[in-house]
Amino acid sequence: MISAILSDPEYLLSVAARAWCWAPEMEEAADTLRAADLSTGMAEATARVLALWEQDKDRYDLPVVHALSPLRSGRST
């Protein structure tokens, strides 16, 4: 992956449309870290952020402003 893609707002739409599938995986990662008595903060925070896009599952046609909205408010719109 080229680094410029991460600064492209249009790429965010692809991430938002697929984020729902990664949130449970990050929760599993947090459980694994917890079982090993390691810090879970990063995995839990990532799961919460990715879960904000669950309502936009597989919607690749969202306007960028809609995809960013849950990140601004901290909750699904």
Confidence of residue 48 (pLDDT cuts 50, 70, 90): very high
Query: Would you call 66 exposed, middle or buried from its count of C-beta atoms within 10 A (0-12, 13-18, 19+)?
Result: middle
Q: What is the pLDDT of residue 57?
A: 87
The whole model's pTM is what?
A: 0.73
Question: pLDDT tens digit string along 30-45?
Answer: 999 999 999 999 999 9
Confidence of residue 74 (pLDDT cuts 50, 70, 90): low
Candidates 66, 34, 36; CA nearest to 53 is: 66
